[in-house]
Amino acid sequence: MPDSHTLTCLSCGQGNRLPEGRLGDNAKCGTCGAALLPAKPVALDLQLLEKAARRDTLPLLVDFWAPWCGPCRMMAPEFEKAAAMLHGTARLAKIDTQGHPDATVRFNIQGIPAFILFRDGRERARLTGARPAGQLADWVRGQVAAG
């Protein structure tokens, strides 16, 4: 485990360093004051997603979804529950593929909902399809434990 983590503020995009021991705290961005470890998933655009995926050392789980997708809408409350389950272990974010179609091309999204887990500048794992929050949280914990 590192002594500290690099986290991109999911509101303003500023890089922050957070000591390992403060992952359970309500740490805030040094620039804008937004929560660095929000309790709920945060909506991102492609530019902010790429920056966080490239720089963050704490796992970042991103839900690629669209408002017209029934399974995506069904998954939304489960994804929020998973965010609470994973607080301090991973951050959760969402990107609307209808509003940001370039994200589907950039990350080769073939079907939605799709989940990509990023850590230390690269994609670590990928999963597709709606599932219960507990199953999603267990999958993330397993991926994090595997390194």
Type of residue numbered 129: G
Residue 75's nearest CA partner among 61, 87, 89 is 61
Contact, 95 vs 46, CB < 8 A? Answer: yes
Calculate Rg over the CA atoms of the chain. 14
Joined together, the tokens standing for residue 28 give 């805030």
Is 32 annotated in the active site? no
Exactly one of 9, 29, 32, 72 is catalytic; which is it? 72
DSSP class of 34: -
Angstrom distance (rounded) from CA 59 to CA 90: 5
Active site includes 9? no
* DSSP characters over 44-90: --HHHHHHHHHH-SS-EEEEEE-TT-HHHHHHHHHHHHHHHHTTTT-
Q: Which residues are catalytic?
A: 69, 72
